[in-house]
Amino acid sequence: MLNKAIPEEQLRSLKLLVLDSDGVSVPRGTEITEQESETLYEAHIKTFRITDEFAKLLNQLKKKILVCISSGRNLVYLQSMYEKILGGGTILQAENGNLSLIDGTIAQHFFYDEKYFQTLSAMKQDILKLPIKGIEPKQFILSCHASSELKEVYEIVKLRDKNNELKVLWNGEAFDIQKKEVSKGAGLERLMEHLNITREQTIAMGDRVNDKELLKTAGIGVSADKEALPAEYWTEGEGMPGEILARYLWDHLFSTKIL
Ligand SMILES: [Mg+2]
């Protein structure tokens, strides 16, 4: 259920549904263990995948609108997590808007130079000395999983970020250290431009602070957690919030009343 109905004329113009991944499309609770030594790199990651039922619903919905999963995760994991919905109108937007997989082609939305990666690498060495769970392998973001918000992470970034071009986002599970200009919202803007879709034709759903810009960029913003991420619309009831919204769109977009 939604807290209130989305006006029909807005629903009718929709061309793109954007869903956050963790907490919206799959349950939260990624487990990461990582170890580095002089000669070895070892990583173990456990994460949820989209259910068959939800995948079926999204695949049906794609007859009407494009579906984009926008996540902080690395594209490699998204491809595994969302394998059941790949192709035919699914877009995977990875690493908080950095990359999009569109029709089998990868678009990189922001520019990086070597210095950026050197800074991140130096920060990583400092952060590994803290009591964190592990670093999630990513291409453009330094993502550190921790049981609680460690103030030392902010201090390390402040010290190493000489040009003041980075920001730190804590989402309750992990710190994302990334360029200030990068956000899911900025990534969505570039994607909409690429697809020639306007904000009025876009509906987006998120559940945490890293989805704030995403909801602002889309014409219709829906929250999966109205306390953590206030929005005009939010979902209520049992089940994955993304599935509740997709079901709502299915019921309304495919009802004879609108068609
Ligand atoms: Mg989330």
In order of their start, the domains of the chain are 8-110+182-253 (3.40.50.1000), 114-179 (3.90.1070)
CA atoms of 204 and 186, how far apart (whole Å) = 13
Predicted pLDDT of residue 218: 97
- Residue 2 and residue 248: Cα distance in Å, rounded? 8
Task: Give the distance (Å) from ligand 1 centre to CA of residue 125.
Answer: 27
Cα of 83 vs its chain's centroid, Å? 16
210 CA distance to ligand 1 middle (Å): 8
Q: What is the 3-state secondary structure (H, E, C) of 40-53?
A: CEEEEEECCCCCHH
| pTM confidence score | 0.93
pLDDT at residue number 255: 67
pLDDT for 7: 94
CA 103 to chain centre: 19
pLDDT tens-digit readout, 120-131: 999 999 999 999
**21 CA to middle of ligand 1, Å?**
6
Q: What's the gap in Å between 141 CA and the centre of ligand 1? A: 16
Mean pLDDT by 10 residues, the chain (259 residues): 94 96 93 84 90 97 95 94 94 97 94 96 95 92 94 97 94 92 97 96 94 96 95 94 96 68
pLDDT at 45: 86
Tell me which residues have their CB within 5 A of the ion that is ligand 1. Answer: 20, 22-23, 207-208
